[in-house]
Every structure is written in structure tokens, then in C-alpha cells.
Amino acid sequence: MLPLLRTPVATPHTLEEALSLLAEPGARILAGGTDILPNLKRGLGSPSTLVSLHAVDALRGVSVGDAGLSIGAGTTLTQVATSGDVKRMAPSLAEAAESVASPQIRNMATLGGNVCLDTRCRWVNQSDFWRGALGGCLKSAGMNPEASFAQAGVCHVVPGGKRCVAAISADTVPVLIALDATARVASASGTHRLPLAELYVNDGVQNLALEPGEMLLGVDVPTHAGARRERYVKWRVRGSIDFPLVSAALRFDLDAGALTQARLVVGVLGARPKQVAVQKVALGRPLDQALATELAELAHRQCKPLENVPYEAGHRRHMLRVLVRRAIEALADEA
């Protein structure tokens, strides 16, 4: 049993209080705690304070306005997965939320925690003892000041690599990007919005474009007129409880049977999701078997998984092709 370090936990009741606590150096957010607490037990991080969002009611809930869906960062994944509005307006988001972990975890886990989930790597999501036997790496160095690793500057996935390629493994993120969602971000000095795709940078040590003291308030998914087909698919070892080993979000908008918009966003490659360039091949065509095969080939050609999470990279790449083809075939049947 790994013990949790003694870290003070602050429980603000308002957003203003939470932002002011978060402005303190070394403070980190504790949302559902389903990822940050296991990580802290493994010596991944040593925050000065954990700022719990549990009592900040303003961060919870799903609402519908003229612009579309608004979901607060503190909304649980169970609420996202079961919300009638999410199922109606963004069914692939409900599907992705439903696919996270297990029912008990989804009851605690929040959408904000999923969107801001730390990257994962088979060499880092281990105990300090395990990591110490091999030496540290670009990501684990500095996460636990008490561990003194011999090889702090190396990457075990890309030997000689200067940038960490730990994988973004959150299920809702590829979907939100495929749906053109925007993020609402706040700090003690103000609020701003950015396209969700721009929230992620290509560095697995810290893949979020958030400044210290900033937090995610929520995400907005725009409304759309006309016919749309969307789906989220993930490959994992245990269907009942597991992180994705490769995943894909698909979205197709149609007018009179021809595609006017197409998105294919792939997760668990590197530190940020990859948007496969599908528009040139897809636009103007019907959603059919031929397109399913072509887009699956495109995904296979453009996406190259690394040995950063369990299972061979080559097999994950093969599974991506299978998942994308089957998903489009199923959507074509619906259409």
C-alpha cells in the first residue's frame, strides 16, 4: 500500500476563493482526485497545497444556450454520460465519458480533471522504487525532490530524445476537439477562452497551455444545424475498466448525403491529440464503405504510436486502422 504524502487540502466555496488559493506557488487542483491522488502516492508531484473544487458549486452542471452546450469543469463524468442534453447534442461526448474507467470512478471523476489529465507513460506511472531502479527521465525528474535519480535527462521511449512523448490518455479530449469545443480558462486576474485543441502543447512533461494559477472553468460545444454523425472508439485491454491504448473521435456533417465537414482526432500517440488530415479525401463524398477504408488507411499512414504506453506500438497502429474503419462503417449504416 503506497502512503499519501501529508499535503494540506484547502476547500474553498467560491470560485474567487479557489482562484486566490491557486495563485499560491506550488498549489494544485484536486477535483475528483481519481488521477492526481494515485500519482501523488507514486511520488509524481509534491504540491504545496491541494485546492479541492468539491464545494465550488459554480463549476458544476450542463446547460444549453443559443451557442450550444456549456459544461462546468466540476461536472462528474457520470453526469456528462447520462445528461439528456449531452446525449442529444454531442452523443460522442456522452459515449467517451461513459467509457472512462468504472462507474465508481466516473461518479467521482470530473470533466475538468479529464480534460486536464496528466500524460501517461509506462516508464513513469510506476512507484518511485520502480522508477529508481532504471533511473529517472525527463518527466519524472523534478516531480519528487526526495528521489535522486541517476539519469534525470533521458527518455526511455525515444533514446536521445530531448522532449517527453508521454501520451495524452483522456477519453473526452479527442471528442471535444472533433466537436470544435472551446475551453473557458480563469486565473485571479481574469478569464479567457481558447479552442480546446490549443489547450495542449507537444511536451509530455507539461502538456497543458495553462499558466501557474490558471484553471479550467468549463468547456463549450457549439450547436450545429443539419445532419451529423459522430462516434468515439477506444481500444483497451479490459472493457470494464481501462485507459485507452489508442482512441479516435470521428465527426461527419452531411448535406443531402454529401460530407460538408469531417474530423478524425486520434488520442494516445504523443502529448497532444493528432488531427488526421481527412478533409481533402472526404469532403463532397457520401459516408460509405469506400470512404471507411480510405480514411482508415489515412489514419494508419499519418499516426505512428510509440512505445510509451503498454502494448506494442505496431499493434496499436493496426488497431487504430481497424477501429476507424469499423466506426465509419457503423456510421454509414446509421446514415
Ligand X SMILES: Cc1cc2nc3c(=O)[nH]c(=O)nc-3n(C[C@H](O)[C@H](O)[C@H](O)COP(=O)(O)OP(=O)(O)OC[C@H]3O[C@@H](n4cnc5c(N)ncnc54)[C@H](O)[C@@H]3O)c2cc1C
As given in the structure block, the three cell numbers for residue 6 are 501529508
Q: CB-wise, 161 or 213, nearer to ligand X?
A: 213
- Measured from the CB atom, the residue of 139 and 321 that comes closer to ligand SF4 is 139
- Closest separation in Å from C-beta 144 to ligand SF4: 13
What number of chain residues touch ligand SF4 (CB under 6 A)?
A: 14
Q: From ligand SF4, ligand X, none, which one binds at residue 215 (CB under 5 to 8 Å depending on kind)?
A: ligand X
**Are 249 and 174 within 8 A, CB to CB?**
yes
268 binds ligand SF4 (CB under 6 A): no
Q: Are 295 and 324 in contact (CB under 8 A)?
A: yes
What strand order describes the sheet that includes 182-187? 62-65, 68-72, 215-222, 182-187, 190-195
Residues 135, 302: Cα–Cα separation, whole Å:
32
Nearer to ligand SF4, 72 or 270 (CB): 270
What is the closest distance, in whole angstroms, from the C-beta atom of residue 142 to ligand SF4 in the complex? 11
Of the pair 162, 238, the CB lying nearest ligand SF4 is at 162
Residues near ligand X (CB under 6 A): 28-36, 38, 73, 77, 100-101, 105, 108-110, 112-114, 116-118, 169-171, 215-216, 241-243
- Paired residues of 267 in beta bridges: 247
Helix, strand, or coil (residue 277): coil
Q: Mapping DSSP to helix (H, G, I), strand (E, B) and coil, where does residue 10 land?
A: strand
Give the β-pairing of 27-30 and 49-52: parallel
Quote the CA–CA distance of 152 and 194 in Å, as a whole number. Answer: 34
Least Å distance between CB 32 and ligand X?
3
Interface residues toward ligand SF4, by CB under 6 A: 121, 123-124, 137-139, 155-157, 164-166, 204, 308
